[in-house]
Amino acid sequence: MEWIIAVVVVVAIAALLFFFRSKKAPEGKATGESREEPTKRLERPANLRDSGAPPKAGPGAKAKAKGEKAEPAAKAEPAPAKKAPTPPPVAEELSQTDLAPADSVRPEAAKPAKRDVAGIRKGLAATRTGFIARLTALFVGKKEIDPAILEQIEEVMLTSDVGVKTTQTVLERLREKLNRNELADPEAVWAELRAEAMRILSLDGGPLRFPTKPSVAMMVGVNGVGKTTTIGKLATKYAGEGKSVLLAAGDTFRAAAVAQLEVWGKRVGAEVVKGKEGSDPGAVAFEATTKAKEAQIDLLLVDTAGRLHTKTPLMDEIKKVRKTIAKAMDGAPHEILLVLDATNGQNALSQAALFKEALDPTGIILTKLDGTAKGGIVLGICDELKLPVRYIGLGERAEDLREFYPDEFVEALFGKPDEEARAA
């Protein structure tokens, strides 16, 4: 009997325990409550309520759905949110979430703009129908290469202003390859001519550099080659890119040159520093450099005379201008650009030699290439003087001044338009 009572007591205690446990379980909503808490918290902030946004579909929820950090939801946690946060600009938002890291984007952005071979080719139309068409004609209908072709190539090169020295160098290299049977067909010779042009033109050139503020570039060259026009074109280009530009009318001997510069200045919104007619060009250059320094101008372009009406030789006068610029600013001028007129042919080559010796220019601007059928001059200049062509002039409009890139130029000159169209 006793043990029956004991069993009943134990069963009763067990039943009581079970009863209390199961009573506690609903209280155990505390566990569930902790899961529901964020929702409740999202409902709380005034900002979310005021915005009328459905409480559970806040930014945090969206982020969670995307598997991202629920940062905004956490931020919405404090009840006393004073003001609805302004949404970040779309770009900013994208940069935080959807865009690739900056580093992976940069190389793409740094890619040079697509080159305009077709545009350059158009500007070189006269040379293509002259020099290049004459070269091409030598290969028409030929399957094999006869060594006599070298003489014909020589004749075309010499009469296209390539110059004696450069022509001889190129022919010598062609002859060696022919002797080694390395040039079996016309295509191989053409490819070799292209490669020679590329080798000759590949000097350390490129467009103007801006090492400091101001960067001072001085244009030199004989009269009529296009110095003033080129300054106007460069001013247009760089002002268009957002750079501040100042012009110095260093050709004080020709009133028309000052007026011409003023027209360009007005057009691009660049101030022109000038002196009285016949005044010291060095003084104008000094004043302009000082002004450019004080005003922290990006680019100062200094025009110089091409012919003087004084007894001072031209080179001495230009050297004086260079010296006064250097007095006004250490390290200036940063560029001395020799402007040559492509239509001057072999004269351009001899001018270049004189200017190189006297002034050690940093590069060449070859103008009026649109006006000659003998564009071979560019090869002669680069090969003989080892001076890089930096820009070429293909017409009178501002946009006709082009930065010079050897690969683009060689393609425009030697390439076949249909090949290029296929490559594009």
Known binding-site residues for GTP equal: 221-228, 303-307, 367-370
Using the minimum distance from each CB to ligand GTP, give the nearer residue, 202 or 223: 223
Binding mask 28-67 vs ligand GTP (x if CB under 6 A, - otherwise)?
----------------------------------------
**Virtual torsion, Cα 278, 362, 411, 146, nearest 10 deg:** 100
Which residues are 392's β-sheet partners? 366, 402
Nearest residue to 378 via CA among 198, 138, 254: 198
# binding residues, ligand GTP (CB under 6 A): 21
Task: Give the count of alpha carbons within 13 A of 203, CB side only.
Answer: 21
Q: Report yes or no: 369 and 132 within 8 Å, Cβ to Cβ.
A: no
Using the minimum distance from each CB to ligand GTP, give the nearer residue, 42 or 365: 365
Q: Which structure tokens are listed for 333? A: 């001028």
Q: Contacting ligand GTP (CB under 6 A), which of 168, 223, 290, 347?
A: 223
Q: Quote the CA–CA distance of 261 and 252 in Å, as a whole number.
A: 11
Rounded to 5°, the CA angle 395-396-397 comes to 100
Edge-first strand order for the sheet with 215-220 is: 271-273, 245-248, 299-302, 215-220, 335-341, 363-367, 389-393, 401-403
Which residues are 393's β-sheet partners? 401
Q: Contacting ligand GTP (CB under 6 A), which of 85, 224, 269, 313?
A: 224
Using the minimum distance from each CB to ligand GTP, give the nearer residue, 64 or 122: 122
Using the minimum distance from each CB to ligand GTP, give the nearer residue, 221 or 380: 221
257 binds ligand GTP (CB under 6 A): yes
DSSP assignment letter at 128: I
306 binds ligand GTP (CB under 6 A): yes
Kindly state the smallest distance separating residue 308's Cβ from ligand GTP, in Å: 10
**Window 358 to 377, contacts with ligand GTP (CB under 6 A):** 367-368, 370-371
Token pair 């060689």 is at which residue?
Answer: 410
DSSP strand pairing (299-302 vs 401-403): unpaired
Q: Quote the CA–CA distance of 330 and 320 in Å, as a whole number.
A: 15
Q: Which stretch binds ligand GTP (CB under 6 A): 9-17, 84-92, 142-150, 392-400?
A: 392-400
Kindly state the smallest distance separating residue 91's Cβ from ligand GTP, in Å: 42
Kindly state the smallest distance separating residue 258's Cβ from ligand GTP, in Å: 9
**Window 269 to 298, contacts with ligand GTP (CB under 6 A):** none
Whether the upstream peptide bond of residue 214 has omega within 30° of 0, thus cis, is: yes
338 binds ligand GTP (CB under 6 A): no
Q: Extract the annotated binding site.
A: 221-228, 303-307, 367-370
**Window 225 to 244, contacts with ligand GTP (CB under 6 A):** 225-229
Kindly state the smallest distance separating residue 224's Cβ from ligand GTP, in Å: 5
Chain residues in the site for ligand GTP (CB under 6 A): 221, 223-229, 251, 254, 257, 306, 367-368, 370-371, 393-396, 400
